[in-house]
Amino acid sequence: LEESLRMKRSLHGDQDHPDIAATLLELGKVSRQAGDLEGAKQQLEESLRMKRSLHGDQDHPDIAATLLELGKVSRQAGDLEGAKQQLEESLRIQRSLHGDKDHPGIATTLQVLGALSCQAGDL
C-alpha cells in the first residue's frame, strides 16, 4: 500500500485525487489493525480532508466510510467523545443517502456506536 500511495502521489502530484484518498483509507485501516493508532489517525484524516475537498458539502458514501474508520481509531485510542462525533456524522450521512432502508453500512455504524456506548457506560 505504501508503494501504491507513493506512485499515486507521483502520478497526481499535489492534487487531491480519489485514488490517493482511497489508498490512504486502506493504509489507515491496516495501521489501526497493527496498533499504530497515531499513523492511522493521520492517514484517515488526510483521506477525509481529500474526500471533503473532492465532494464539497455533498453527503457521500466515501466520506461516511472514512468517518466510520476514524471513529474506530478514536474509540481504540480512548477518545470516546471524538469517536462519538465521527460515528454520528457517519451515521447521519449514511441515513441521508439510504433513507429508512436497511443497509449494511448503517448496521455496522450502529454496532460500533453501541459498543462505544457500552465502553463509555452510557447504557
Decide if pLDDT at 107 tops 80: yes
Q: What residue type is assigned to position 55 of the chain?
A: H
Q: What is the pTM of this model?
A: 0.96
Average pLDDT over residues 38-66: 97
- Give the orientation angle of helix 37-55 with respect to helix 18-33, to 10 degrees: 160
Q: Taking residues 14-40, report their average pLDDT.
A: 97
Model confidence over 58-104: pLDDT tens digits?
999 999 999 999 999 999 999 999 999 999 999 999 999 999 899 99
Alpha carbons within 13 angstroms on the beta-carbon side of residue 26 total 10
Alpha helices in 1-123 (DSSP H): 2-12, 18-33, 37-55, 61-76, 80-98, 104-120
